[in-house]
Structure 1
């Protein structure tokens, strides 16, 4: 197949130049080698391709149809090679990232901006889903990368932790007295609780940790977004379990208050997930590098 492709390249150059000798110069070949290539192609196709004239060579009637298709194919190959080189240099292409709403809002935006500024020709496609949905989308190829709260345990998925995150409890002014001194979590959980829905990876992590302590939670309120946890805690509807790193604005302005525990919930991670069986694209590699560089500088 490779030999046949080379023959067609010789064929198209002879047509464009209307000369065996000029085609040979374009291809950095000898004229006898070009002539031999055309003879070989004619033998394989069992047709005559060129007619010799005083001005050079011209296509036979039968070869005109062949040239239309071969020329188009060669052009497409050249375009494909060009696109591949551009992709390697991050000059074109698409990067599909799956991420949750909270991580998008409180973490990812500056890194998307930096990537776009460095590689403006790479089209970004961002899809917001729950962690488990994102993992399934990564496995099906719908996204190149997923930015998720960890832990993720799936044999098909490679996980690269980027930062540590901490689960904490916060309250509004009504429960501010609970922040005066560290308290046992068993005592804290006797108050009305606000948690994410059970399908949430964050909820599952905290719930599993508490079960190791023999504690089973029964939240008064279950919500679908991290922002709502903070809002409900702010208006004193209960004690909310939130991620500290995504709650700094509320904590710094005093809209909610952190409740200190005698023993904190163990930290976990947030990171990038991608398929183990598929090589990362240049754009995916560059985006991961941007995330890593920001936390090692």
Structure 2
């Protein structure tokens, strides 16, 4: 059965070529099939679309009006199909990611650089936020994938751990004598502590672990960024709880020193997450594969 869209495609080709026979060649159809299609469209619209002459066909006034709209509509459809193919082939599109500043700086940037080099026509949309905010971005559709601190307890999300990280404590020169030997948590919490704000997933993870050890914290300072934790510790305002992997520059240069804990905080992960019921775009799928292949 010939669809209405097929009839309009035949109509437009005939309108351009002004010949059933030429249109038949262009469409890889027989001339009778082209004639039949035009007659069917004329019956459905109850109007004559072409004037038949021995030299070919010309559009009637009704046919000219219809041709203007039908040709524009088909061109738009063709453009839409091409855009879809471009997106599927990563020749166009957008990569929408939710991520925090620290993870962007210390983990995500090399992947963004590699992806952009390989697919330069894909645009980036980066939404910054805490883990809780990124989950909200995912569920609202503002981003397709999130790069977050794990663990996250949400059955609606799919998770893919990427790198293992270690929470630890660091200090400046002022506390070097006090912390020259391994310490337990009971001694550590008696010192001025510097933590991220309580809405941080990293803070909650460490705090929950300490509570499981019977230790309750009362931080001297609660800050909004990992960089500030390091800087506050650097000027001896207290002992900062940080991610070791993101603090190596300070530690390697001797600006800060790591507390030797008698019992380490269990390691956790940073990883990618996305909504289970929402299919990822071609760009997001390829980006997730890139991260997973380089774990």
Common fold: TM-score over 0.5: yes
Is the CA contact (8 Å cut-off) linking 1:130 and 1:200 kept in structure 2?
yes
Aligned partner of 1:102 in structure 2 is 102
Aligned to 2:231: 231
What is the distance in 2 between the residues matched to 1:156 and 1:222?
31
Q: How do residues 215-254 of structure 1 correspond to structure 2 at under 5 angstroms?
A: 215-254=215-254
Consecutive unaligned residues in structure 1, runs of 5 or more: none
Structure 1 partner of 2:203: 203
- Secondary structure of the corresponding residue to residue 255 of structure 2: coil
| TM superposition shift of 1:180 | 2.9
Cα deviation code 1:189-225 (max 9, x no counterpart): 1111000000011001111111111211100110000
Q: How does 1:30-179 map to 2 (within 5 A)?
A: 30-179=30-179
**Secondary structure class of the residue paired with 2:182:** coil
Report deviation, 1:54: 3.2
Structure 2 counterpart SS, 1:135: helix
What's the CA shift for 1:291? 1.3
Deviates more, 1:6-15 or 1:286-295: 286-295
CA distance in 2, matches of 1:179, 1:30: 90
Displacement, 1:179? 4.2
Q: Alignment length, in residue pairs?
A: 295
Cα RMSD for the two superposed structures = 1.3
Task: Tell me what 2:14 maps to.
Answer: 14
Name the SS for the 2:48 alignment partner: coil
Q: Secondary structure at the match of 1:177?
A: coil
Counterpart of 1:25? 25
Distance in 2 between residues matched to 1:74 and 1:286, nearest whole Å: 31
Q: How far apart, in 1, do the equivalents of 2:132 and 2:65 lie?
A: 53
Please give the alpha-carbon distance, in whole angstroms, between the structure 2 residues aligned to 1:292 and 1:191: 40
The two structures have a TM-score, normalised by structure 2, of 0.97
TM-score by length of 1: 0.96
Q: Structure 1 residue runs of 4+, over 4 Å off?
A: none
Give, in angstroms, the shift of residue 171 of structure 1.
0.4
1:139–1:157 Cα contact (<8 Å) kept: no
SS in 1 for 2:176: helix
CA contact (8 A) 2:185 2:215 kept: no
Report if aligned partners of 1:179, 1:258 keep a CA contact under 8 Å in 2: no
Q: Is the 8 A contact 2:49 2:62 kept in 1?
A: yes
Uncovered stretches (5+) of structure 2, i.e. residues with no partner: none
Partner SS, residue 154 of structure 1: coil
Is contact 2:97-2:147 (8 Å) kept?
A: yes
